């Protein structure tokens, strides 16, 4: 048998690392939604843009003779993960989800856990400026009506601010603690609003908030799709290369 044909649903550091680690041992295609104008270079083939829902993805899996599907998308990218589960079932292609480990709460953390961006916005009146919003563009509308607040946003692509009046910091992760300390200091960050994304690449902001006693409004993760999952790049690579392997739930 030739090298396995692996489709990685990515747009994340984990997706990039799996593609890199598989190297020449598999025929790898990484799929990106196409949201970022200049995505970082990836090992193997890259395709960009939606598939057209479950049906489109199931068709793609068949047409491209994909042997295995790895869902390494962001923990908050719930729709594509649901589509991946259903399409893999329809096309009878084994699927593995890569679950990013959640951050651990530590002494000194002041987390206020909420269900969604609207609830995060409702929590703000009692919390100090400036408010550092590390959220996706789709979450920002919830903060648009809060006049008189100072917001700081971090984005990859330049362009008009998606939240009127917000100060924009252009940067691409991973972010280290020294850089996050500087950002909190320079912008006088008094509150951090973040999704409970977890993972090492963006954990430094949580440590910076802890050090400064800054409260963190933490938006809970959507529930993961049922089915096999692993929590490391190494385990995903082993699954991709092992014809008998499977993830653990």
Ligand X SMILES: NC(=O)c1ccc[n+]([C@@H]2O[C@H](COP(=O)([O-])OP(=O)(O)OC[C@H]3O[C@@H](n4cnc5c(N)ncnc54)[C@H](OP(=O)(O)O)[C@@H]3O)[C@@H](O)[C@H]2O)c1
Instruction: Return residues touching ligand X (CB under 6 A).
Output: 9-12, 31-33, 35, 50-53, 56-57, 73-74, 76-80, 83, 136
In whole angstroms, what is the distance from residue 115 CA to residue 1 CA? 47
- Match 């917000």 to its residue by tokens: 166
* Number of helices followed by number of strands (H, E) in the chain: 7, 12
Kind plus residue range of the DSSP H or E element containing 30: strand 27-32
Q: How near is the Cβ of 59 to ligand X at its closest, in Å?
A: 11
In whole angstroms, what is the distance from residue 142 CA to residue 165 CA? 14
Q: Which is nearer to ligand X, 29 or 191 (CB)?
A: 29
CA 50 from chain center: how many Å? 17
Q: Which is nearer to ligand X, 94 or 190 (CB)?
A: 94
User: Residue 226: helix, strand or coil by DSSP?
Assistant: coil
Q: Which is nearer to ligand X, 3 or 79 (CB)?
A: 79
Report the b/e string of 184-203 with b at 16+ CB within 10 A.
beebebbbbbbbbbbbeebb
Q: Which is nearer to ligand X, 83 or 190 (CB)?
A: 83
Alpha-carbon distances of 36 from 118, 155, 156, rounded to whole Å = 25, 10, 7
Contact between 207 and 183 (Cβ < 8 Å): no
Q: Which is nearer to ligand X, 23 or 52 (CB)?
A: 52
User: Residue 185: helix, strand or coil by DSSP?
Assistant: helix
Closest-approach residue to ligand X (CB)? 50
Q: Which is nearer to ligand X, 136 or 228 (CB)?
A: 136
Q: How near is the Cβ of 47 to ligand X at its closest, in Å?
A: 7
Q: What is the DSSP letter of 67?
A: S
Contact between 175 and 202 (Cβ < 8 Å): yes
Q: How near is the Cβ of 117 to ligand X at its closest, in Å?
A: 11
Q: How near is the Cβ of 178 to ligand X at its closest, in Å?
A: 23
Q: Which is nearer to ligand X, 23 or 137 (CB)?
A: 137
Q: How near is the Cβ of 51 to ligand X at its closest, in Å?
A: 4
Q: How near is the Cβ of 213 to ligand X at its closest, in Å?
A: 27
């Amino acid at each position: 048998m030739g090298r396995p044909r692996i489709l990685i649903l990515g747009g994340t550091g984990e997706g990039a690392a799996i593609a890199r680690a598989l190297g020449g041992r598999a025929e790898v295609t990484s799929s990106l939604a196409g949201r970022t104008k200049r995505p970082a270079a990836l090992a193997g083939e890259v395709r960009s843009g939606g598939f057209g829902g479950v049906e489109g993805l199931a068709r793609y899996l068949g047409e491209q003779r994909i042997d295995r599907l790895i869902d390494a998308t962001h923990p908050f990218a719930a729709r594509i993960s649901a589509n991946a589960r259903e399409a893999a079932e329809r096309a009878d292609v084994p699927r593995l989800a890569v679950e990013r480990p959640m951050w651990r709460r530590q002494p000194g953390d002041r987390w206020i856990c909420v269900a969604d961006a609207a609830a995060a916005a409702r929590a703000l009146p009692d919390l100090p400026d400036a408010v550092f919003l590390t959220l996706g563009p789709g979450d920002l509308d919830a903060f648009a009506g809060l006049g008189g607040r100072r917001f700081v946003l971090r984005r990859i692509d330049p362009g008009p601010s998606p939240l009127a009046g917000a100060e924009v910091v252009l940067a691409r992760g991973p972010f280290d603690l020294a850089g996050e300390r500087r950002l909190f200091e320079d912008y006088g960050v008094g509150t951090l609003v973040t999704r409970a994304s977890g993972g090492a690449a963006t954990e430094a902001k949580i440590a910076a908030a802890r050090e400064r006693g800054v409260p963190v409004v933490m938006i809970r993760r959507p529930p993961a799709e049922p089915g096999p999952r692993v929590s490391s790049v190494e385990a995903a690579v082993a699954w991709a290369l092992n014809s008998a392997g499977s993830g653990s739930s």
